[in-house]
């Protein structure tokens, strides 16, 4: 099935290169709820996985839908935590809806289809290509007024999503990390560039209501 541009939430209608429609499986009404995008490395540390789960726990306690890219690593942890902790999630694929990429995620895919929403701008039988993912990232940041970065190297797709969030006038939050960790280089650099440091999970409780009401 398809969702056409006129039915997108306003925050998604106003990004650059907005698609004319998106293919979907699941509950399209989630697009009209409060959403936060979480992105990060495909090679997370145990610390990064723990941080992701704690952030998701805080978000779903406030009835916020978790958005991510269904990739290995932080994305997978964000989706899985949302579903396991009783919340819901939106996955934006870098392939068609019929693709099995990434393999070995049968439970996660099945539960996301049943209790969440899966989106793609690609034809249903389209297999993933390397250039799909950087292009997909504008949708990840575009779907939410807030993007959170958990662990990333400097040269990573996560940093592309972060730059997209800034160019779309979104709120960008990042989890600081130890300077000796390669996976902290991206978040720490983004703080230097002016991103908001999420140095305590309770900061989420102080996000103002007008963040979700603002129209771009």
- Overall average pLDDT of the 181-187 stretch: 95
Range of the domain at 32: 2-213
Answer yes or no: is pLDDT of 100 > 90: no
pLDDT score, position 136: 94
Encode pLDDT of 23-67 as tens digits: 999 999 999 999 999 999 999 999 999 999 999 999 999 999 999
pLDDT score, position 115: 96
**Domain containing 177 — which CATH number?**
3.40.50.450
Q: Report d(CA 42, CA 158) in Å as an integer.
A: 9
- In the chain, the number of structural domains is 1
| Closest listed residue to residue 170, CA positions, set 189, 185, 153, 148 | 148
Residues contacting 34, CB < 8 A, separation 6+? 62, 63, 64, 65, 212
Tell me whether strands 171-174 and 196-197 are parallel, antiparallel or unpaired: parallel
Average pLDDT, the chain: 94
- Overall average pLDDT of the 144-172 stretch: 95
Tell me whether strands 21-26 and 117-120 are parallel, antiparallel or unpaired: antiparallel
- Overall average pLDDT of the 175-192 stretch: 95
Q: Are 151 and 177 in contact (CB under 8 A)?
A: yes
pLDDT score, position 215: 47
Answer yes or no: is pLDDT of 174 > 90: yes
Q: Where are the beta strands (DSSP E) in 83-198?
A: 89-92, 117-120, 146-150, 171-174, 196-197
């Amino acid at each position: 099935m398809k969702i056409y541009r006129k039915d997108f939430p306003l925050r998604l209608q106003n990004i650059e290169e907005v698609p004319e429609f998106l293919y979907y499986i699941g509950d399209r009404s989630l697009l009209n709820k409060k959403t936060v995008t979480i992105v990060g490395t495909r090679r997370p540390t145990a610390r990064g996985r723990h941080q992701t789960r704690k952030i998701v726990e805080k978000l779903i306690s406030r009835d916020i839908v978790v958005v991510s890219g269904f990739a290995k690593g932080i994305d997978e942890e964000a989706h899985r935590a949302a579903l396991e902790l009783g919340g819901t999630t939106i996955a934006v694929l870098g392939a068609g809806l019929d693709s099995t990429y990434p393999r070995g995620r049968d439970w996660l895919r099945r539960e996301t289809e049943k209790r969440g929403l899966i989106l793609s701008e690609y034809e249903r039988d389209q297999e993933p290509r390397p250039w799909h993912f950087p292009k997909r990232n504008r949708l990840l940041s575009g779907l939410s007024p807030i993007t959170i970065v958990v662990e990333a190297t400097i040269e990573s797709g996560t940093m592309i999503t972060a730059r997209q969030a800034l160019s779309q006038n979104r709120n960008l939050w990042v989890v600081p990390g130890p300077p000796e960790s390669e996976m902290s280089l991206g978040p720490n650099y983004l703080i230097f560039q002016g991103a908001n440091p999420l140095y305590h999970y309770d900061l989420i409780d102080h996000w103002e209501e007008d963040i979700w009401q603002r129209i771009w």
